[in-house]
Structure formats: structure tokens, C-alpha cells
Amino acid sequence: MNEEDIEDANNRVKQVDDNNSILPPITRRSTMKGAAATGASSFFASSMATAADNTNQSESSDRTLVDTPPMGWNSWNTFYCDIDAGLIKDTADAMVENGMKEVGYEYICIDDCWMASERDVNGNLQPDPETFPNGIDAVADYVHKRGLKLGIYQSAGTTTCEGLPGSLGYEEKDAQSFADWGVDYLKYDNCGEHYGLSAIERYTRMHKALEATDRDILLSICEWGDNDPWMWAPEAGGNLWRTTGDIKPLWSAKENLWGNGIIDIIDQNEPLAEYAGPGHWNDPDMLVVGVDLPEYPNLTEAEDRTHFGMWAMMAAPLIAGNDIRNMSEETRNILTNYELIEINQDPAGNQAIRIQRTTGQDGLSRSVWAKKLANGDRAVGLLNRSDRRTTITTSAQEVGLDEASCYVARNLWNGTNWQTAGLIGATALSS
């Protein structure tokens, strides 16, 4: 994507306005915010806009541990097992210094491989003595002193996915260790033997064990959507649950590499909107914005924007997976786009609904997404998943706004505002 593409796309947005320049007198004027992720090297563009109808104020829900989607960072997507206390502490420092904490990122999560290969003689988990020599509690202290929270990983089976000791049969012991160490968030995976126990039973066991401690620990269920967790996870005490297999920095898995691409995940997560809400979230996996892996093609900047924009629209947890100690300005700008974060963290907790999907005569696939916000505004996403430029349009009515003679839209990537009688659109570019 280049500057010219962005300009062009934005001009088209304005042109849409121009086409409607004979606007009826403004009898009712609303504010409308929006975002546009425009241009892609060869794939897509998207734009987002929100509009207000000044009605339908959503009721606020009960406050819970995660009344908005959790935000943070996790070690897995970039570092896999190559982790140690230094990385976690440096990442906490970076989150404070690079502006991520300021816009809401909070959890620093250690994924698989933090533990020693054996439990101690009393059956307690122990941190790997080489990589976490001072224990997890020392790391938790460090993270807490910076106003952040600590996440950790375990598995509801006999082993973790990397073959280290799992928590099945040790739930109470392990939950107590996490509480004693000062852990705030548990990502609970599904690897190892299950001894015939159902997922709901295994996850409920850990939830009860966490509840029995005197510490609030958020439970992130990670069974990859295998057992339809959206049907039972809230009952099993899950605050969020993975809806898909692992994400990789790919546009689509058709590239024959292991894992799911962004588009694959959007498709899998889309029908689950009704299950998301304050305290219980669909988790389409952690972000791969700015993730740089030698074995994957990685995402272009425009793809990264679409990924972040769509995760914001889907009320997905925003858990960065890149090396935030050392990221480009483009990546930082995407991860800290405050207006998109506000869409993600909107208190109504609605996951965007796909309200339009078309494949035109030109064979291009376009979709329009709308997310109702607590104040009655709509966030709107225009997603072009093809490799050709195309114009995508919708209307204030289609995104669910009440009738008004004029709406004000705002592009959340570049801050442009414009007025419209109801038509919302953008040209989605390819390079």
C-alpha cells in the first residue's frame, strides 16, 4: 500500500459525499465516527465508519472481571518456547514506554514452556530453573509494579502442547500456585491426555479451583473451538474462549502453511456474534499484527490494518503477539489506534454482524460489517477480500441507524470527517 492509494480511497469516500451533495436540509444531525483501512498490496481494503442515531442507548451490563475484551500481550506468536524472565520484564517495560499501556493494554501473558519438565516432590509445578530462576512471583511483582497484570499458561490435560506437565488432576494445587505467585490471567489449553473427561468437566474443574483461591484470575479457555465452547464456556467459568485453531501471519491458509489466516478466522468467528458480550468473549486468537516469522509470509501493513480493524469490530480480545520491544512505527500506530480500541472496548460488548456479502459480476467478494455501540452509533467495516480494487457501499439504514436527513461519518484511520445523507462507502484498493 502506498500514500497514493490511501489518498485515492479517501477521495472516493468524499466523492460519495459529492454525489450526494444535494442534501436535504439538515433537520437532524448526528455524529458518526468511522475508520478506513484502505489499500492492500494485492488482497483487499476495508473501511470502517460509525454513525449515530441518538437512540437505543444500550443498557450497561453487570461489571465483571472482563466487562470489555481483555487487552495485552502474549509470548507465543513470536517467541514460542524461546522465553525467559528477562523477555517478560522487558516486554512489560516496553508496554509502559511505547504507549500501549496508555491506550489500554494490560496483561503480559507468558505462554507455554515456562515450567520445568517435572513437578516437585510435593506435586507442585515449578518454573524452569534456568529461564525463570527467581520464580514466577518475582516476574509478577515486576509486572505489577508497572501497573500491569500477569498472565500464565497451562493445559486441561496431562501435558501442555509442548509436552510439559499439564494441570489435569492437579487443578487445586496449580490454581493455588498461580494465586500465590500473583497471577491474574490463565490461558488454559487442551493438550495432553484427557482420561475420557469432557471439556466442560475439565474446564469447570479449573474454574472452581481458581474460585477457591482468594485471587481474581481471569479464565481464558483455549480448546480451539473443538467442542463448541460458546455453548458452555460461560457456565464453565470461562471469560473468553478460543473459537478457532491457531492463527498465523497469513491472509488465508490456502497458502498451504499450517494454521489459520486472518480471513479464515473471520469466517469462523462471524456466525458466533450472539455469544459475545460483557464478561464472556469469543476469542478468534491473538493478534499477529507486526509478527515476523521466517516460515510465514507475514502480513502487509494494509493486511495488518484489516486484521486489527476486524478484531476491533468483532469485540475480540486484543492480545498483541509481536515483539513489542522492537516494532516499526507502522505496527505501533496500528496497535495503538485509540479510536479503533474504543470500538473494541465499547461497553455494549456487541460483536459486529456481517450485514452484506456480495460477489459481483467481477467475481470480487465484498462484505459490510456493523457493530452497534453503546451510545447508538454504529461502527461499520467494509471488507474487500479480493485482490482487486473495488468500491463497497452501504447505507445508514442498512447498518441499522434511525432515519435522519444527515449523518456525519469519521474515518478512524485518518481522522477525516464527512457528511452524508445516508450513503456510506469507500473504494477498497489493491496496489
Using CB under 6 A as the criterion, which residues of the chain lie in contact with ligand GLA when the complex forms? 76, 111-112, 153, 160-162, 189, 222, 224, 246
Residues whose CB falls within 8 Å of the CB of residue 36, separated by 6 or more in sequence, listed in order: 9, 10, 13, 45, 46, 47, 48, 49, 382, 411, 412, 413, 414, 426
DSSP readout, 138-198? HHHHHHHHTT-EEEEEEESSSB-TTSSB--TT-HHHHHHHHHHHT--EEEEE--S--TT--
Q: Name which of 187, 211, 210, 162 is nearest 107 in CA terms.
A: 187
Least spacing, CB of residue 132 vs ligand GLA, in Å: 17
* Residue 246 a catalytic site member: yes
Least spacing, CB of residue 68 vs ligand GLA, in Å: 22
Separation between Cα atoms, residue 210 and residue 129, nearest integer Å: 25
Least spacing, CB of residue 232 vs ligand GLA, in Å: 19
Least spacing, CB of residue 329 vs ligand GLA, in Å: 28
Nearer to ligand GLA, 171 or 189 (CB): 189
Least spacing, CB of residue 195 vs ligand GLA, in Å: 20
- The secondary element (H helix, E strand) that includes residue 46 is strand 45-51
Nearer to ligand GLA, 137 or 246 (CB): 246
CB closest to ligand GLA, residue no: 161
Residue 35, classed as helix, strand or coil, is strand
Q: What are φ and ψ of residue 186, in 5° steps?
A: -120, 120
Side chain identity at residue 130, one-letter code: E
DSSP H helices in 250-403: 262-269, 301-313, 329-335, 338-344
* Residue 141 a catalytic site member: no
Nearer to ligand GLA, 117 or 122 (CB): 117
Nearer to ligand GLA, 224 or 232 (CB): 224
- Which of 5, 53, 189, 323 is catalytic? The answer is 189
Nearer to ligand GLA, 111 or 323 (CB): 111
Separation between Cα atoms, residue 308 and residue 349, nearest integer Å: 17
User: In 10 A of CB 64, how many CB atoms?
Assistant: 13
- Which of 8, 246, 267, 402 is catalytic? The answer is 246
Least spacing, CB of residue 167 vs ligand GLA, in Å: 14
Nearer to ligand GLA, 109 or 352 (CB): 109
Separation between Cα atoms, residue 83 and residue 100, nearest integer Å: 21
For the annotated catalytic residues, the residue numbers are: 189, 246
